[in-house]
Amino acid sequence: MAKSKKNYIDLGKKGRLNKNNKLNSLTGKEWIKFTKSWFIHRPARRNNREILHPAKFPESLVKEFIEFFTRENEWVLDPFLGSGSTLLAAGETNRNAVGVELTKKFFKIANDRLKEKNCKSNILSLQGDSKELSTILKKNKLNEIKFDYVITSPPYWNQLERNNLRQKNRSEKDLATKYSVNKKDIGNIKNYEKFIEEQAKIFDEVFECTKEDGYLTIITNNVYYKSKLFPLAFDTAISLTKRGDKSWVLKDEKIWLQDDKPLIALGVNNAWVSNRHHQYCLIFRKEK
């Protein structure tokens, strides 16, 4: 049979898969589609167990990022695992993955959710403080791994503490309105500047176990508190680029639009208060 000289595989409507693609297994058409600077994700309704976690992100969103930034069998890390969404998305896409969660009850939810899936890849959830990520990985004999990609969503500073409508509804249903009372939970840091610094320290640890040229995506947001906007997403972006020899290179932002949230009357006839229906997916890379 004559050898094809083509450097691509034609996948019909999906587009062409370039054999020299250095990053992923997407066709050119799929690649271009994902590079749009915003996307809409409407998370499926959470079941009784998933709702126990106050702030999970949709697996569909994580899956799209994982498919863009890795190939099958590569390694993904989430240092703020929560209810385990990243591990589930990694399992579904045949990537190996490790997740670390501080709070036992969320760690348990993540494990229970994983047990129901028949993941063929290596999926490992660990309980601990990600400030000690390298120690945790070493203890579990995972310190040889250099992660190809990291995707995560840290606590949005003190956002869960506020008595907004969502939190009120959760309290009335006896659902958790904060992650924990643990001092190591960075969501319990009161001072904004201290939060930015402690969060950055965790990403120093992440830097150490990420491969050269590996990407990191952080899903976060600016937060409105005491009548002013704290630019948490922007300060997160800046802070990680100023970490000396552990500095990440900021590559972009992709905006997650949430057009399924109801509009609430905020500040009407009085002052500007926005219905904040978007979040930031910050994209960094570890470069020399």
Interface with ligand SAM by CB under 6 A: which residues?
A: 53, 55-57, 80, 82-83, 85, 100-103, 106, 129-131, 153-155, 179-180, 184-187
Q: In sequence order, which ranges of 116-274 are alpha helices (DSSP H)?
A: 133-139, 165-172, 192-208, 232-240
- Cα(178)–Cα(53) distance, rounded to whole angstroms? 9
Q: How far is the CB of 268 from ligand SAM (least distance, A)?
A: 30
Q: Cα 184 vs. chain centroid, distance in angstroms?
A: 19
Task: Give residues with Cβ within 8 angstroms of 271, minimum separation 6.
Answer: none
Q: How far is the CB of 156 from ligand SAM (least distance, A)?
A: 7
Looking at the Cβ atoms of 80 and 248, the one nearer to ligand SAM is 80
Task: Give residues with Cβ within 8 angstroms of 47, minimum separation 6.
Answer: none
Looking at the Cβ atoms of 27 and 70, the one nearer to ligand SAM is 70
Q: How far is the CB of 192 from ligand SAM (least distance, A)?
A: 16
Residue nearest to ligand SAM (CB): 82
Q: How far is the CB of 135 from ligand SAM (least distance, A)?
A: 12
Nearest to 82 by CA among 104, 60, 65: 104
Looking at the Cβ atoms of 28 and 58, the one nearer to ligand SAM is 58
Q: How far is the CB of 74 from ligand SAM (least distance, A)?
A: 20
Q: Which residues pair with 147 in a beta bridge?
A: 210
Q: How far is the CB of 88 from ligand SAM (least distance, A)?
A: 9
Write the DSSP string, 65-124: HHHHH--TT-EEEESS-TTSHHHHHHHHTT-EEEEEES-HHHHHHHHHHHHTS---S-EE
Q: How far is the CB of 272 from ligand SAM (least distance, A)?
A: 27
Looking at the Cβ atoms of 55 and 249, the one nearer to ligand SAM is 55
Q: E strand or H helix at 64, and its extent?
A: helix 59-69
Looking at the Cβ atoms of 17 and 88, the one nearer to ligand SAM is 88
Task: Give residues with Cβ within 8 angstroms of 269, minimum separation 6.
Answer: none
| The dihedral formed by the CA atoms of 173, 175, 181 and 185, expressed in degrees to the nearest 10 | -140
Looking at the Cβ atoms of 27 and 236, the one nearer to ligand SAM is 236
Looking at the Cβ atoms of 53 and 63, the one nearer to ligand SAM is 53
